[in-house]
Amino acid sequence: MTLLQVEGLGISFGGLRAVNDVGFSASAGEIVSVIGPNGAGKTTLFNMISGVYLPDRGRVMLDGQDVTRFEPHLLARMGMTRTFQNLQIFQDMTVLENVIVGFHLAERGHLLADLLALPGTKRRSAEVREKAMALLTRVRLDKAAEQVAGNLSYGALKRLEIVRALAMSPRVLLLDEPAAGCNAVETEEIDAFIAELAATGIGILLVEHDMKMVMRISNHIVVLDHGEKIAEGKPDEVSRNPEVISAYLGTVDAEQDEQDEEDEKEATHAVG
Amino acid sequence: MTFNSKWVQLAVLLALIAILPVFFPSGYYFRVGALIFVNALSVVGLVILIGYAGQISLGHAGFAGIGAYACALGPEALGLHPALAMLLGALVSAIMAALIGKPILRLKGYYLAVATLGFGILVSMVLTNERSLTRGPDGMEVAELGLRDFLKGVGLKLSSGEFWYLVCGLVLIVGVWIALNLFNSSTGRAMRALHGSEVAARTVGIDVAQVKLQAFVISAVYASVAGSLLSLQNRFITPDVAGFMHSIEMVTMAVLGGVNSVLGATLGAAILTLLPQVLTVFAEYEQLIMGLVMILVMIFLPRGLLPSIAAKLRGRGE
Ligand SMILES: Nc1ncnc2c1ncn2[C@@H]1O[C@H](COP(=O)(O)OP(=O)(O)OP(=O)(O)O)[C@@H](O)[C@H]1O
Ligand SMILES: [Mg+2]
C-alpha cells in the first residue's frame, strides 16, 4: 500500500532549477533510496517532502492526503520525520534530553501543568525517560546519556539523530546520508539498523553515497542528476542503466580532468 | 543530586534570603535586598526567553512599565485593590506580549532585537505623553498594598523594608521554582531544543512559533509582576521604569550572571543592583568601574559568572 507519494515536485533558486518534476512512491516497510552526484538535488528534494522548503510545483501525498506545503511540525504529527545531512543536534542539551525531545508529541501536556510541575507531567516525564533510555541502548549510547550532546563524536551524533527521529514512532522516515563520515563498522551497523526499522513497517527514504550499502538494502532506487530523475527501479536494474552509469562516470571524469589540470599546472610551475 | 537539581537551587536561594538579614548593618539594606529580588524576578523571566528559547528582547521594561502603572492606575481609575491591579497588569502584559509576539517573533537576531526595542520605546512614550492619565514624566503616586497593616493587626509587626524584603523574596522563590519546573518540562525542553536547532525541533513536531510565543508571554508576565512590586514598594512610579535603560539593564544582568542559569541570573541581578550602591564611594568613577567589570566578565567568563565558575569547579573536581 502506498504510504508516501511524490508527484512532479520542483523548486528553483533564482535561475537554478534545483529539482525539476520528480515523482516516486514508497510503501510501508520499503526502503527507497535517492541517489545522484553531489548537487543533484537530493537534500533539496528531502527538504520539500519534509516541509522545510515550499515547492514551486508538484504534490506530496501522505496516506492519500495532500500534505504539500504543510509545516514540518504538522507532518511530524502525521508520522513523517527526518534526519539531516549536516547534523542538527540540540548541542547544549544532554544526549538523553535530545531523545526525550523526540518524544515531544507523546509527552506534551498543558503549559500550566509544566509551569507548576503537576503530578501528571512527572509521570509522563518518567515514562518518556525510560523509553528514551531504551532507544539509546539500541544504538549503544546509553552510557553517554547524561553527557552534553555537543561532546559526542560525529559517528555517535549520527546515531543519536536517528534515534531522536525514531522517538516519535514515525511511519515515514527520511534519512539524509545517515552513514556519512562513519567508518566501515559504523556504516554496517547503521545499515543493519535501517533494515531492522523497515522490517517493523516504517517507510524509509534514504539518501546515501555508499553505493554498496544502497544496493544492498534498498527495495527501490530513484536516481537524480541536475535536479531531474534520470532513472528508477530495483537496485540491479538501476546499476545496469547506461544513463546512470554515465551520470556517475561523468562526474568521475570531470573530477579526473580537474585533477589532471592541477597536476599540469603544478608541473609547469615546478619547471618555471 | 547534582548542584543543578531543582531543590538544591531552591534551597540555596531560600537559605540566602533567610540568612542574609542577619548581616544587615541597618534597615536600609532590606530595601536594597527587596530591589535585588525585584530585578532578579524580571531577569529570571529573561532567562526563559533568552537562555531557554534563544530569543532576544530589548523591550522588556515595557512590560515592567505596564505592571507598574497597572498598580498606580488600577486603584485610582478603576477602584481596584492594588493586588488585583497587579494581576490585571500581568494579564494585560500577557495579552500585549501575545499580540506583538506573534508577528515579531518570526524575526531573528538583531531584527528581533530592534522590533522589541521599538515596543519598549512605545510603552515608555505612551506613559510619558498621556499626561491626563499618567501625569507624564513627573510620575505618580501608588496606593498602599495594605497587607502590612493587616499583618500588624494579627500581631506581626514589620517595618516597610522588612515587609517588602519578605514579599519580594517569596515572589522570587515562586518565580524561580516555576522557571526551574519549566526547564525540565516538555515545554521547556521544546524551548531549549528550538534554541539549539529550529529545523530539527520542527521535524520532531514542535510548533516553533507557538513555543517562542509562550516563552515571550511568560517572560513578559515576570517583568510585569516585577514592575508592580517595584511601584508598590516605592509608592511612586515614573515612566523610567519602562525606559530603554531599564531594558538594557535587565539583559545585562542576565548575561552577566549567566543567561542559561536561573540562579546565575539572580546573582547577576544582585551584583548589578549592589555595585552602584557600593561604588558611590568612588562617585565619578562609578560608571567607569561598572563598565570595566562587565567587560572583564564577558572576556574571561563569557558564559556568565555562575555557569563559568560552576564549570571551573567541576573541571577541577574530575
Ligand atoms: N537554499 C538554497 N538556496 C540556493 N541554492 C540552493 C539551496 N539549497 C540547495 N541549493 C542548490 O541546489 C542544488 C542541489 O543541492 P542539494 O543540496 O539538494 O544537492 P545534493 O544532491 O543533496 O548534494 P550532496 O550530495 O552534495 O549532498 C545545488 O546546486 C545547491 O547549491
Ligand atoms: Mg545533500
DSSP characters for B228-263?
Answer: HHHHHHHTEE-GGGGSHHHHHHHHHHHHHH-TT-HH
**Closest residue (by CA) to atom 25 of ligand 1?**
A38
Rg (CA), chain A: 21
Q: Which amino acid is at B119?
A: F
CA-to-CA distance for A165 and A98, rounded, in angstroms? 10
Count how many residues are written for chain B: 318
Among A44, A176, A223, which residue has the most ligand 1 atoms within 8 Å of its CB, making it the best to mutate? A44
CA-to-CA distance for A261 and A255, rounded, in angstroms? 10
Comparison of pLDDT for A248 and A126, the residue scoring more: A126
pLDDT at A262 over 50: no
- Parallel, antiparallel or unpaired: strands A203-207 and B236-237: unpaired
Q: Is the dihedral of CA A263, A264, A267, A269 positive or negative?
A: negative
pLDDT at B202 over 50: yes
CB contact under 8 A, A97 and B189: yes
pLDDT score at A260 = 47
Residue B226: all three cell numbers together: 516585577
* Minimum Cα–Cα distance from A92: chain B residue: B196
* Minimum Cα–Cα distance from B188: chain A residue: A114
Count how many residues are written for chain A: 272
**Closest residue (by CA) to atom 14 of ligand 1?**
A41
Cα–Cα distance list, A196 to A29, A204, A215 (Å): 10, 11, 16
> Residues within 5 Å of ion ligand 2 by Cβ?
A 42-43, 85
Mean pLDDT (whole number) for A99-125: 90
Residue A172 β-bridge partners = A80, A203
pLDDT at A109 over 70: yes
Q: CB–CB of A147/A94 below 8 Å?
A: yes
CA-to-CA distance for A5 and A24, rounded, in angstroms? 6
- The continuous run of DSSP H or E covering B140 comes out as strand B140-141
**Closest residue (by CA) to atom 26 of ligand 1?**
A38
pLDDT score at A71 = 94
* Minimum Cα–Cα distance from B175: chain A residue: A115
Q: What is the per-residue pLDDT across A181-204, written as a single tens digit (0 to 9) for each? A: 888 888 888 889 999 999 999 999
DSSP letter (8 states) at residue B145: -
Q: CB–CB of A53/A46 below 8 Å?
A: no
Kindly provide the residue ranges of all beta strands, DSSP E only, lying in chain A, ordered along the sequence: 2-13, 16-27, 31-35, 57-62, 65-66, 80-82, 172-176, 203-207, 220-225, 228-233
Q: Which residue has the cell 573541571?
A: B315
pLDDT at B145 over 80: no
Ligand 1 binding pocket includes A251 (Cβ within 6 Å): no
Ligand 1 binding pocket includes A13 (Cβ within 6 Å): yes
Query: A65: helix, coil or strand?
Result: strand
Q: CB–CB of B279/B289 below 8 Å?
A: yes
Q: CB–CB of B47/B256 below 8 Å?
A: no
CB contact under 8 A, A89 and B196: yes
pLDDT score at A61 = 94
CB contact under 8 A, B204 and A104: yes
CB contact under 8 A, B203 and A50: yes
Q: What is the per-residue pLDDT across A199-230, written as a single tens digit (0 to 9) for each? A: 999 999 999 988 888 888 999 999 999 988 98
CB contact under 8 A, A88 and B185: no
Cα–Cα distance list, A223 to A177, A207, A212, A231, B149 (Å): 15, 10, 15, 5, 80
Q: Where is mean pLDDT largest: A214-218, B91-95, B104-108, B311-315?
A: B91-95
Q: Please state, for a pLDDT cut of 90, what percent of chain B lies above it.
A: 42
Query: A4: helix, coil or strand?
Result: strand
Give the predicted TM-score (pTM) of the model. 0.89
Q: What is the per-residue pLDDT across A34-70, written as a single tens digit (0 to 9) for each? A: 999 889 999 999 999 999 999 999 999 999 899 999 9
> How is B24-64 classified by DSSP, letter by letter?
-SSTHHHHHHHHHHHHHHHHHHHIIIIIIT----S-THHHH
Q: Count the Cβ atoms, other than its own, within 10 Å of residue A270.
A: 7
- Residues contacting residue A118 through CB under 8 Å, at least 6 positions apart: A112
pLDDT band at B183 (very low <50, low <70, confident <90, very high): very high
Rg (CA), chain B: 19
Q: Which amino acid is at B78?
A: L
Q: Count the Cβ atoms, other than its own, within 10 Å of residue B254.
A: 30
Residues of B with CB under 8 A from a CB of A: 178, 181-182, 184-190, 192-193, 195-197, 199-208, 214, 218, 260
pLDDT score at A235 = 87
pLDDT band at A266 (very low <50, low <70, confident <90, very high): very low
Residue A32 β-bridge partners = A205, A220
Residue B210: all three cell numbers together: 507557538
In chain A, residues under CATH classification 3.40.50.300 are 2-79+170-271
pLDDT band at B227 (very low <50, low <70, confident <90, very high): very high
Query: B219: helix, coil or strand?
Result: helix
Cα–Cα distance list, B275 to B22, B32, B250, B253, B279 (Å): 20, 11, 15, 12, 6
pLDDT at B27 over 90: no
- Residues contacting residue B287 through CB under 8 Å, at least 6 positions apart: none
- Residues contacting residue A191 through CB under 8 Å, at least 6 positions apart: A179, A213, A216, A217
pLDDT band at B162 (very low <50, low <70, confident <90, very high): confident
What is the end-to-end Cα distance of chain A in Å, rounded?
67
Q: Count the Cβ atoms, other than its own, within 10 Å of residue A212.
A: 12
Q: Please state, for a pLDDT cut of 90, what percent of chain A lies above it.
A: 60
Interface size, chain A vs chain B, as Cβ–Cβ contacts under 8 Å: 104
Question: In terms of CATH architecture, what is A2-79+170-271?
Answer: 3-Layer(aba) Sandwich (3.40)
Residue B188: exposed, middle, or buried by beta-carbon count in 10 A (0-12, 13-18, 19+)? Answer: buried
**Helix, strand, coil content of chain A in percent (nearest 5):** 50, 25, 30
Comparison of pLDDT for B187 and B146, the residue scoring more: B187
CB contact under 8 A, A111 and B204: no
